[in-house]
Amino acid sequence: MSSDFEGYEQDFAVLTAEITNKIARVPRLPPDEKKQMVANVEKQLEEAKELLEQMDLEVREIPPQSRGMYSNRMRSYKQEMGKLETDFKRSRIAYSDEVRNELLGDDGNSSENQRAHLLDNTERLERSSRRLEAGYQIAVETEQIGQEMLENLSHDREKIQRARERLRETDANLGKSSRVLTGMLRRIIQNRILVVILGIILVVTILTAITLSVRRQ
């Protein structure tokens, strides 16, 4: 189940990086291209929201003792989603301001806005790069955790097999001990019966001898 979450997580990282790049391009596009780009970004924002919903459902299926780490990551992704939506709105507003300044002939303000947009776009690209690096790091950590889990499962399997072998050996030894004790008990009973028979014969012999001695006198 956690593998599904990590898959959604990687898709979300790639999608948000694309959205960030497109948001940065919106203010510089002509009106026709801007309209198409805005529609594309809105569609991808909806896809990102759907991914967040899927990830949220996956987190709810995780056992409570292991849910904390994933819940923290979900809060971070939701904050990131809110930041993207805010940046998208600012980008559209900035483009409208730029068009208005061009119509008014305010070249100084327009240049200032362009410099501000370039700085803002640079920050967005840096954030996108950091998100991709974080996604890659998460993938690497997930792979390491998976390998450790497989190794632990392999060790546990070996321990269980050894325990089963010891149980089989113990059962075999108990069976041998039971047979030995049964044989010893049988021999003890036989010896006691033999002693009783010999005692009876001895008593009969003594009585017979005494009887014969008395008759002769």
Confidence check: pLDDT of 110 > 70: no
Query: Which structure tokens are listed for 28?
Result: 């510089």
Stronger pLDDT, 143 or 80, i.e. the higher one:
80
pLDDT per position as a tens digit, 146-165: 666 767 677 778 888 887 88
Confidence of residue 108 (pLDDT cuts 50, 70, 90): very low
Residue for token digits 């709810």? 60
Query: Which structure tokens are listed for 98?
Result: 């730029």
Rounded mean pLDDT of 64-86?
A: 88
Query: Which helix (H) or strand (E) segment is 83 a member of?
Result: helix 67-104
The answer to whether 135 and 9 have CB atoms below 8 angstroms apart is yes
Residue % of the chain over a pLDDT of 90: 13
pLDDT per position as a tens digit, 177-195: 778 888 888 889 888 898 8
CA nearest neighbour of 61 among 13, 147, 3: 3
Q: Taking the model in full, what pTM does it have?
A: 0.45
Confidence of residue 100 (pLDDT cuts 50, 70, 90): very low
Map out the domains of the chain as residue ranges: 3-100+122-165
Give the range among 6-15, 55-64, 174-183 with minimum mean pLDDT.
174-183
Residue 70 Cα to chain centre, angstroms: 10
CATH class of the domain defined by 3-100+122-165: mainly alpha
| pLDDT number for residue 102 | 46
